[in-house]
């Protein structure tokens, strides 16, 4: 009996010893399978995120392309405006140059006229010429005043006695 009991205990110990490594291997296998499932899920999540990031990048690239095209058109429009303004400024500059030439010529003419007026004024002040004598000679002034008074008196007499001066005959 001792032998049977010993055999039975030995069998239990051997079974237990054999069962433990199999259980341990089974648990390790289950843990590896769980880890694989988690890795597969994480891989799937990463693929989904990469797909989302790819779509977002495509949208951003499309917007950048649109903005780039808009900027290109705006720069082209600005270049056209700058060209037009440059031409307008050139035309204005030419007209200003022409006006400056005209103003220079006009300035010379006005200066010449001023010198002539100064010369005439100097001659009048010195008593030269008829106007100078009228302005500076009191006797000539008196004579002209008397002649003017006589003409006024003659006109008044003609108005008062027209028959004395005019004779009208009808055939």
115-139 residue pLDDT tens: 999 999 888 888 888 777 777 777 8
pLDDT at 15: 57
* Within a domain: 149: yes
CA proximity to 158, closest of 168, 166, 150:
166
The reported pTM is: 0.42
* Within a domain: 26: no
Cα dihedral 61, 63, 66, 69 sign: negative
pLDDT at 11: 59
Q: Are 121 and 128 in contact (CB under 8 A)?
A: no
For residue 140, what are the domain limits? 127-160
* Within a domain: 140: yes
pLDDT by 10-residue block (mean), the chain, 171 residues:
58 56 76 89 93 95 95 95 96 95 94 93 83 76 87 91 80 65
Q: Are 127 and 136 in contact (CB under 8 A)?
A: yes
pLDDT at 108: 95
The angle that helices 138-160 and 129-136 make with each other, rounded to 10 degrees, is: 90
* Within a domain: 152: yes
* Within a domain: 135: yes
* Within a domain: 156: yes
pLDDT at 136: 78
pLDDT at 16: 55
The angle that helices 129-136 and 2-126 make with each other, rounded to 10 degrees, is: 80
* Within a domain: 74: no
pLDDT at 76: 94
* Structural domain total, the chain: 1
* Within a domain: 12: no
């Amino acid at each position: 009996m001792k032998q049977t009991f010993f055999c039975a205990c030995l069998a239990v110990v051997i079974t237990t010893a054999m069962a433990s490594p199999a259980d341990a291997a089974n648990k390790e296998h289950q843990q590896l399978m769980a880890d694989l499932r988690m890795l597969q899920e994480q891989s799937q999540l990463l693929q989904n995120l990469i797909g989302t990031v790819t779509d977002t990048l495509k949208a951003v690239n499309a917007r950048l392309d649109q903005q780039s095209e808009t900027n290109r058109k705006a720069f082209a429009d600005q270049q056209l405006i700058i060209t037009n303004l440059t031409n307008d400024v050139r035309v204005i500059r030419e007209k200003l140059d022409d006006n400056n030439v005209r103003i220079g010529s006009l300035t010379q003419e006005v200066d010449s006229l001023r010198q002539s007026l100064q010369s005439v004024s100097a001659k009048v002040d010195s008593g030269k010429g008829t106007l100078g004598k009228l302005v500076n000679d009191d006797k000539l002034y008196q004579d002209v005043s008397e002649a003017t008074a006589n003409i006024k008196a003659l006109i008044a007499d003609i108005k008062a006695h027209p028959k004395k001066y005019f004779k009208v005959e009808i055939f």
